Amino acid sequence: MIQTGTAVPRMNCAARTSPSFAKMAPLGHRQLSDTGCGAHALHGQGPCLSHTMTSTNKASTEIAPKKASLTLRAQISDMQGELASDSALRIALSHGLQVSDLALVLYDSLAPLHGLSAPWRERLICAALLHDLGQVFGIRKHHKNTLALLLEEKAAEDEGTASCTRALVSILPEKERLAIGLVARYHRKAWPSTLDPLFAGLSLQERLGVSVCASILRIADALDVLHTNEVQSLRVIVDDASVVLELHGAYGPCATLEEHALRARMKGELFMDLFGRELTWRLC
C-alpha cells in the first residue's frame, strides 16, 4: 500500500529536476467549450484544460458504484494465491495493485487542478487495477487488448485465464466499462483522440475525464515500470508552474528510483500538455 506520508525535510531528499521541456502557456484563462479549445483529445488535435475547471465539475451525470474498486481489489487479492507466480495474469494484477495505489495518491493530490467529479476517481482506480489485463495475449498491443477484454469483445485462449478475466470484468457495472476501458487503453502509446470512434462517441465532459485519468494512469504506471514496488511513498507538490513528485524509495534515493522518475517524466507528456505544468521529481 502506498503511503502519502507527511512532508519530509528537504535536507533528507535528493532533488532532481527533470530534463528541460518547453514551457507551455498557462491554460487557466481558457474557457473549455464544445468549439473553443481545439484539443486533440477533445476536438481532434491536442488536449486542453481550464486551470480552474469551474465549467467542468459536472463531469458526468452517471454515478459509478463507489464499492466496485473495493470488490475488484478483493477479487484480485484472492486470485493471486491461485495463479502461478510466473503467469502473465498474476504479474499484470500484482502490478495493477501497486499502480492503483499510486494513481489514487496522484488523483487526490491533483484534485485542485483537474476538478473531476467523484465517479472519475472510481473509474481511474478500476482502470489502474486492470490496465495490463491485455497482457494475457502478450505485451504487443496489450493496452488495446485490455479494452477488448473489458468490453467482452475478446477472450483468452486458456479457459482458466478466460474464466478469471471474465470474473474480474463482471464486477464492473456495464455502463462504466467503456469509460474504464478507454482510460486503461490510453495508459500507453497514442493519446486519446477523436480518430478513435469509441472515444469520439463520448460527450465532451466524458472525453475530458478519460483524458485526465489516462494522463494520471500513465504517470502511475511509469512509477512501477520495473514491477518492483520500488516507490514506497509518494507526495505530490503543486504550484503555478510545476508538479513535483516526491518519491520515497524502498532503498532510498538510488539509481532504480531515479529510473522510475525518468520514466514518469517520459510518460507524463500528456499530463504536461493538459495542464501546462512541468513534471519534476525529488528522490528521498
Percent of the chain residues past pLDDT 90, beyond the cut = 68
CB 95 within 8 A of CB 139: no
- The more confidently predicted of residues 80 and 101 is 101
Partners of residue 246 on adjacent β-strands: 235, 282
CB 227 within 8 A of CB 75: no
Which set of grid coordinates corresponds to residue 284?
528521498
Task: Among 59-68, 79-88, 91-100, name the one with the lowest average pLDDT.
Answer: 59-68
Q: For residues 246 and 2, what is the distance between their CA atoms, to the nearest angstrom?
A: 13
Report how many helices (DSSP H) and strands (DSSP E) the chain contains, helices first.
12, 4
- Above 50 in pLDDT, residue 32? no
CB 72 within 8 A of CB 129: yes
Phi/psi region, residue 247 (left: phi>0; alpha: psi -120 to 50; beta: rest), is beta
pTM of the model: 0.80
**Is 103 exposed, middle or buried (CB count within 10 Å of its CB: 0-12, 13-18, 19+)?**
buried
Q: Which pLDDT belongs to residue 140?
A: 86
Residues 206-240: pLDDT tens digits?
A: 999 999 999 999 999 999 999 999 999 999 999 99
Q: Which pLDDT belongs to residue 274?
A: 96
**What does the pLDDT average to over 47-69?**
43
CB 16 within 8 A of CB 255: no
Give the CA-trace dihedral at 86, 88, 94, 99, to 10 degrees. 140
Q: For residues 4 and 278, what is the distance between their CA atoms, to the nearest angstrom?
A: 21
Q: At what angle do helices 88-109 and 118-130 cross, to 10 degrees?
A: 150
Domains of the chain, with CATH numbers? 10-283 (1.10.3210.10)
Query: Is 236 in a helix, a strand, or coil?
Result: strand
**What does the pLDDT average to over 162-179?**
96
Q: Which pLDDT belongs to residue 1?
A: 61
**What does the pLDDT average to over 180-186?**
98
Q: Which pLDDT belongs to residue 86?
A: 86
CA separation (Å) from 140 to 59, 146, 240, 246?
32, 11, 38, 32
Beta strand 242-249 with 278-283: parallel, antiparallel or unpaired?
A: parallel
Residues 93-119: pLDDT tens digits?
A: 999 999 999 999 999 999 999 999 999
Q: Residue 89: what residue type?
A: L
Partners of residue 14 on adjacent β-strands: 283
Q: Which pLDDT belongs to residue 73?
A: 96
Q: Which pLDDT belongs to residue 3?
A: 54
- The more confidently predicted of residues 93 and 60 is 93
Task: Among 17-21, 184-188, 239-243, name the one with the lowest average pLDDT.
Answer: 17-21
67 pLDDT band, cuts 50/70/90, is: confident
CA separation (Å) from 4 to 7, 157, 246, 256?
9, 40, 10, 20
- Above 90 in pLDDT, residue 170? yes
Q: Which pLDDT belongs to residue 9?
A: 29
Task: Choose the most confident range, by mean pLDDT, from 41-45, 157-161, 204-208.
Answer: 204-208
